[in-house]
Amino acid sequence: MSISYQRTRKHRGVSEQLVEAMSSNRPRCLGDERFTNDVARGDGTAEGAMFAKCFSCPLLAVCEEYADQTKPAAGYWAGRWRGQMPRAQYLDSIRHAESTDHFPSEQEGKGTES
């Protein structure tokens, strides 16, 4: 089912249009945490399936307009990632964890012998 959507409605904000569209059409991404989880973004293996969900979604046009207008800080919107790529932050957190004894050393893992 496709919804009627007009990009030229200046009297209503894109947020209201998205909410209205969602009240009568279920977004394909609903309940799929990959769309809001930046770990999925760093992984890259799920992106094809997410892309397919977006392009089969009846809310694609209103979702794209919303994302273009509001510039979400993160998430997968209308077939692409929005916001800054968190990969650098992710790699920095790994480096930090490795440098701060969050991982047991080889000696600690062996235990003590009597």
Residue 8 lies in a domain: no
Residue 52 lies in a domain: yes
Q: Are 90 and 66 in contact (CB under 8 A)?
A: no
**Mean pLDDT, rounded, for 49-77:** 93
Residue 114 lies in a domain: no
Measure the CA–CA gap between 9 and 98, rounded to whole angstroms: 52
**Confidence at residue 36, expressed as pLDDT on a 0 to 100 scale:** 87
DSSP 3-state of 21: helix
Measure the CA–CA gap between 67 and 21, rounded to whole angstroms: 15
Residue 38 lies in a domain: yes
Residue 108 lies in a domain: no
Tokens of 33: 């945490």
Residue 6 lies in a domain: no
Give the model confidence (pLDDT) of 102-111 as tens digits. Answer: 445 555 555 5
Domain holding 19, by residue range, is 14-102
Give the model confidence (pLDDT) of 6-16 as tens digits. Answer: 554 444 688 99
Task: Check pLDDT > 80 for residue 64.
Answer: yes
More confident residue, 73 or 30: 30
In the chain, alpha helices (H): 14-24, 38-43, 47-55, 60-70, 87-99, 106-110
Q: How confident is the model at residue 86 (pLDDT cuts 50, 70, 90)?
A: low
- Looking only at Cα atoms, what is the longest distance across the chain? 79
Tokens of 49: 């399936």
**Confidence at residue 39, expressed as pLDDT on a 0 to 100 scale:** 67
Residue 111 lies in a domain: no
Instruction: Count CB-CB contacts under 10 A for residue 17.
Output: 21
Give the model confidence (pLDDT) of 28-47 as tens digits. Answer: 999 999 898 876 676 667 88
Taking all residues of the chain, what is their mean pLDDT, rounded to a whole number? 77
Number of structural domains (the chain) is 1
Residue 37 lies in a domain: yes
